[in-house]
Structure 1
Amino acid sequence: MTGRGRAVWRFEAIGTRWEIETAEPLDPAARAAASAVIDRFDREWSRFRDDSLIARLARDGGSVPAPADAADMLTAYAALTDATGGAVDPLVGDALAHRGYDATYTLVDRGALAAPGDWRSRLTWDEGVLRLAGPATIDVGALGKGRLVDLVCAALEPWAGGDLVVDAGGDLAVRGPAQRIGLEHPYDPSRAVGVWEVTDAALCASAVNRRAWGERLHHVLDARTGEPVRTIAATWAVASTAMRADAIATALFFRGGEQLAAAWQVAWVRMGTDGTVDWSPGCPAEVFTGSR
């Protein structure tokens, strides 16, 4: 399929819609390489399939071979936890399941459940081994999709010739010509909060209207309480990698996210549930409305 005179490969994976845009159609070997990367990541990190490494740890705890991404992802999680005072925690999976966002998508709320806290005393990674002291459900949703976008982008760059857009449900990486990307209004998909021109970088977004259910429930929980965030509606972040952009898009729902974004040199835009919009100093996005 083609769009705007370019080749577009569309497919579903990890519960979201992907669009990969290139100057020329990707050959079968390139598509196979990208699919293998996605399959490997899903088999290791998905809490929605019972044969993943994460599912094994959730049932039994103990040790499993550490995925190649473990050190980078969990080190970034440590920074998120420190910046947000514990609000972002990779052991939030059981809390999400308790609110209904479980492996079978029951969407039945059984009440708030806080994450165990001090996850680094329970979850360790070294010498090729990932260890969890006791059963618990790891959830890498704060930055995992961004990490996978980076991996798919790296797998396809040899075939794409430096002209590539990898978009996984709004988390995307751009290589080559600049892309103007609309920042979708969380309460009205026909409107945009602004436009951001992205070149050789990644843009990730998070919003409470995505993966929402029941009585004001959604996927962005404060791990300290198990309660959904109520004051922030949507965030957007641009960074050199999609993993960092995804991480900051999550961190911005909590106090301390702005400071981590500054430390990582990540630009951002954020919309509150009251409709106000703010953004990072020097942010190059064109924001249509808002207040500082």
Structure 2
Amino acid sequence: MTTPAARGSQWTFDAIGTSWAIDTAVPLPPLARDAVSVVIERFDREWSRFRDDSLVSALAHGRAASVPAPGDADAMFSLYDELDAATGGAVNPLVGDALARLGYDARVSLAPAGGPQPAPVWRDVLSWDGPLTLSRPATIDVGAVGKGRLVDLVIDALRPHVEGDVVVDASGDLAARGAPVRVALEHPFDATRAIGVVTVTDGALCASAINRRAWGEGLHHVLDARTGAPVRAYAATWALAETAMRADALATALFFDGGPELAASWDAPWVRMRTDGRVEWSPGFAGEIFT
């Protein structure tokens, strides 16, 4: 997924293991950049399973049975409740150990330690009414909603400092405020091609694809929590919503049965491509698909 060239100023940087680009009409003042850096550092320190000093790592390694619930906990885990119900348990925030077992571990070794392993039934293990608590050590991975949530937080951090148009693009999770932004839907098997285009206006577009974090034979980061195995039917998904967190959530749900129904209940347009190259899209999708 690509955005047009910046019409004004673009700030690019790396954070949470991916590339970011923030487009604004004029260069961001130092206060704005500092505000963004603070938000990203806090989120990473709380939710990253790749940092040994994060809250989720303390829970995963048994150093603590509970930690103070981050401010994002209710927003994200309440959304996971909806994803869980819609997909029959396929989307689950305790999928971290299953990812690590296949090689997508804290060191990103990409060396599998065994075959697929189902994730625990997360509501039996995790609670956030008060502190964030696990009844036994497990690895929280908020990948289905977390990057979108952080994009929303970055947009909010910029509001006091930026007037006019702003686009925040975190490598596939994009939010735009102000002028419409025309975005290409990157072909999952050929980054030089697009399967379509769509315009984002005061909203968000998030994408997920099995080629983005892939290693080994048929291994990638989109797992079915019920089996611990990578999904096979779909190669890429795109979803539009009012917030990047919701669009991110739908981009994950669309790999499974129940995803389109959840999107319809949110009145959220979407596109997805099967691994055989066939493309599906929702009746309300207002972009263009190249058939």
TM-score under structure 1 length normalisation? 0.96
Matching residue within 240, 262, 265 for 1:238: 240
Task: Map 1:5-20; keep pairs closer than 5 Å.
Answer: 5-20=7-22
Deviations 1:175-211 (A, max 9, x none): 0000000000000111101001010000000000010
- What is the match of residue 258 of structure 1? 260
Q: Is structure 2 residue 100 aligned with structure 1 residue 83?
A: no
Matched pairs, number: 286
- What is the match of residue 104 of structure 1? 107
Q: Is structure 2 residue 77 aligned with structure 1 residue 74?
A: yes
Secondary structure of the residue that 1:159 maps to in structure 2?
coil
Mapped partners of 2:159, 2:178: distance in 1 = 10
Mapped partners of 1:5, 1:64: distance in 2 = 44
Q: Decide whether the 8 Å contact of 1:157 with 1:164 is kept in 2.
A: no
Counterpart code for 2:117? L
Mapped partners of 2:23, 2:287: distance in 1 = 22
Task: Map 1:133-282; keep pairs closer than 5 Å.
Answer: 133-282=135-284
Deviations 1:84-140 (A, max 9, x none): 0000000000000000000001111221111012x112111123x111101000000
Q: Is structure 2 residue 128 aligned with structure 1 residue 125?
A: yes
Secondary structure of the residue that 2:237 maps to in structure 1?
strand
* Deviation for aligned residue 1:173: 0.3
% identical equivalent positions: 65
Q: What's the RMSD between the two structures over aligned residues? A: 1.1
Bigger shift: 158-167 or 187-196? 158-167
Secondary structure of the residue that 2:160 maps to in structure 1?
helix
Mapped partners of 2:143, 2:7: distance in 1 = 34
Q: Is structure 2 residue 157 aligned with structure 1 residue 116?
A: no
Secondary structure of the residue that 2:196 maps to in structure 1?
strand
Distance 1:4 1:169, change over 3 A: closer
Mapped partners of 1:250, 1:8: distance in 2 = 28
Mapped partners of 2:286, 2:56: distance in 1 = 38
For structure 1, the residue ranges without an aligned partner over 5 or more in a row are none
For structure 2, the residue ranges without an aligned partner over 5 or more in a row are none
Counterpart code for 2:265? A
Deviations 1:240-285 (A, max 9, x none): 0000000000000000001111111111000000100011112111
TM-score under structure 2 length normalisation? 0.97
Q: Structure 1 residue runs of 4+, over 4 Å off?
A: none
Mapped partners of 1:4, 1:32: distance in 2 = 21
Mapped partners of 1:205, 1:5: distance in 2 = 23
